[in-house]
Structure 1
Amino acid sequence: MTDLLETARDVQSNAHVPYSEYPVGAALETADGEVFVGCNLENANYSNSLHAEEVAIAEAVKNGHREFTRVAVSSGQRDGVTPCGMCRQTLAEFCDDDLVVLCDRGDDEPPAEYTLGELLPDTITEEMLE
């Protein structure tokens, strides 16, 4: 298992998930090797909840990073969870199609590996809005 995936697992313990009881952790690696983490933060009104990947990328961008190589995502169930559509679009705002996405399937299996382009083909881009 990669260190990045282990980091995503570790941050799950900080998740605030009183409604779904489904903790998710994400670890995002920058081009220079720094890692930023996020966990899901649920809110009673649901639409104000934050997803782990969003929290990780917000922290990285807040700290001046704009180039990323990999993201690892893990849930407490180790069920191979992938970033949701909203998180994929948020990642696409800052990451190239070749961003490696590692999804935790548990200790007995290697993580599923995708590229962001595979998970979100034909994404909405800034150029499309011009």
Structure 2
Amino acid sequence: MDLNQLLERAIEARKNSYSPYSKFPVGAAVLTNDGKLYTGCNVENAAYGITVCAETVAVAKAVSEGSRNIAAVAVAADTAGVCRPCGSCRQFILEFGDEIVIIMGNLKGDRETRSIKELIPFSFSSRDLD
């Protein structure tokens, strides 16, 4: 699967978003090094602090199914520019590798690809404890 196909899966996943408060559906897709695909969408709650971002859902699904070797994460929303992961999602993704490719997009076809290290420089992760 190439990165454009991964982003299309993220766009498709946003259709499952539960976002009655923000009205901002977001979709994400995770590709593991062994070719498995996991998708996620944002899930909001009236108690905003327990709302879950799409990227976190997709990564957590991968990990809960035994896939921790993440190659790429795509995120998409209906935004003017590309949709970028929030700071919390960046930290969550980084926990599973500092070479993960992040493809960001929107519904208009805009695309941007970066490494997670580019999106969260001077980071800290479990790898720093070794």
Question: What TM-score do the two structures reach when normalised by structure 1?
Answer: 0.90
| RMSD between superposed Cα atoms in Å | 1.7
Letter in 2 for 1:115: S
Give the secondary structure class of the aligned counterpart of 1:71.
Answer: strand
Task: Show structure 1 runs of 4+ deviating over 6 A.
Answer: none
Post-superposition Cα deviations, 1:99-125, rounded to whole Å, max 9, x if no partner, equal 11101044444x111110000112122
Which among 86, 89, 99 is matched to residue 88 of structure 2?
86
Which among 14, 17, 33 is matched to residue 15 of structure 1?
17
Which among 49, 52, 58 is matched to residue 51 of structure 2?
49
Partners of 1:40 and 1:51 within 8 A in 2: yes
Question: What TM-score do the two structures reach when normalised by structure 2?
Answer: 0.90
Q: For residue 33 of structure 1, what is the aligned residue in structure 2?
A: 35
Letter in 2 for 1:32: D
For residues 67 and 125 of structure 2, the distance between their equivalents in structure 1, rounded to whole angstroms, comes to 19
What percentage of aligned pairs have identical amino acids? 38
For residues 89 and 6 of structure 2, the distance between their equivalents in structure 1, rounded to whole angstroms, comes to 18
Give the secondary structure class of the aligned counterpart of 1:47.
Answer: helix
Q: For residue 62 of structure 1, what is the aligned residue in structure 2?
A: 64
Q: Where does structure 2 lack aligned partners over 5 or more consecutive residues?
A: none
Q: For residue 115 of structure 2, what is the aligned residue in structure 1?
A: 115
Letter in 2 for 1:100: V
Q: Where does structure 1 lack aligned partners over 5 or more consecutive residues?
A: none
For residues 51 and 16 of structure 2, the distance between their equivalents in structure 1, rounded to whole angstroms, comes to 14
